[in-house]
Amino acid sequence: LFLDYRIWESPLLQAAKENNLPAIRKLLTDRTCDIYQRGAVGETALHVAALYDNVEAAVTLMEAVPELVNERMTSELYEGQTALHIAAMNQNITLVKALLKRGANACTAQATGHFFRHSSQNLLYFGQHVLSFAACVGNEEIVQLLIENGADIRAQDYLGNTVLHILVLQPNKTFACHMYSLILSYDRNKEGPGSLELIANNEGLTPFKLAGVEGNTVMFQYLMQKRKHNLWSFGPLTTVLYDLTEIDSWAEDQSFLELIVSTKKREARQILDLTPVKELVSLKWNMYGRHYFCFLALFYVLYMVCFTMCCVYRPLKPRTGNKTNSRDNTIYVQKMLQESYVTYEDELRLVGELITVIGAVVILILEV
């Protein structure tokens, strides 16, 4: 409402909103009219025309004032947003073509305002670049236009996320998978070490690992299907080979399996039941985990036996003093330190006590 009120205050912004071409042309020739005036959130007349899908008004403004094409909004909420961002978001292909034809920057323009940040308070997260905006709304034609006009598919936002990372985070997972494949088809190094899929964000997560952390099972299965190779088939039997890069890479600092287990997203646990992760976890358990678990279990049982025996045979002696209270039924009392370690049995108990203390320290360190 505040935005509409401020637009109503400005004749040029109001004309752009209503697609009133005669009024726009008249105001552009009026010397008293500031053609660069801005509204409540730092928008120009071209931003308003793009917001309301008024292509004719936008073209008239661009032809009269070419500098408006790459003007960015200036408010903290929408800072950096250009008319091309808005046109891509509204899937207005005609306006996108008109903007690109007149020099709109599809490569470096970034929307950095608070509205475009990734947080629980924002309803959407489309990144900062125009390409990620178009990819997230699912318009293939606009995506192709932007890439053909210089949009960088490797561009990263303030979190280090590429357009592939951002697609992983979208709620509409089916179209995100389709758009993921489209973007990847433009990657010239998709088979090499410089592949777009191997670019990590600021947290060290590739799009594949991010899908695991977020519990995006649809995207995970889609990516695994791309890595699957059928070796041979014999009737109902099929031998399948999976590329386990990023899944079973022991040399990496962040293990995929560890990320899934440690993430706070409950949906991520479902990935442990999917092929080939399920088979890999089972294999690792049978080869390594089972023996490690049995060893620790045996160690803990022996430790508890030692602790129990030390408690049972703790140094006590019969009570010799007079009872002053009829309700006092104490029979044994603790020996003095000098009396506690005299016999051979006491020395054996001392060894057990040392084992108990050292074991407690080791368990504490392992737990922390």
pLDDT in tens, 339-360: 788 788 888 889 999 999 998 9
How confident is the model over 5-22, as a mean pLDDT? 82
How confident is the model over 105-121, as a mean pLDDT? 89
pLDDT of residue 146: 95
pLDDT above 80: residue 66: yes
Same domain, 359 and 289: yes
Same domain, 295 and 363: yes
Same domain, 210 and 237: yes
pLDDT above 90: residue 330: no
In-domain check, residue 184:
no
In-domain check, residue 32:
no
In-domain check, residue 150:
no
pLDDT above 80: residue 197: yes
pLDDT digits (tens, 9 = 90+) for 271-305: 888 888 898 889 888 988 899 899 989 988 999 99
- Count of CB atoms within 10 A of residue 258's CB? 11
Average pLDDT value for the chain:
87
pLDDT band at 8 (very low <50, low <70, confident <90, very high): low
In-domain check, residue 193:
no
Higher-confidence residue of 13 and 340: namely 13
pLDDT of residue 336: 81
Same domain, 243 and 309: no
Nearest Cα to 219, choosing from 271, 142, 278? 271
Count the domains in the chain.
2
Same domain, 306 and 221: no
pLDDT of residue 4: 52
In-domain check, residue 308:
yes
In-domain check, residue 359:
yes
In-domain check, residue 31:
no
pLDDT of residue 63: 93
Same domain, 306 and 362: yes
pLDDT of residue 133: 95
pLDDT digits (tens, 9 = 90+) for 211-240: 999 999 999 999 988 888 887 787 888 888
Same domain, 258 and 227: yes
Q: Which domain holds residue 218?
A: 203-271
pLDDT of residue 151: 92
In-domain check, residue 250:
yes
* Boundary of a domain, candidates 271, 290, 309: 271
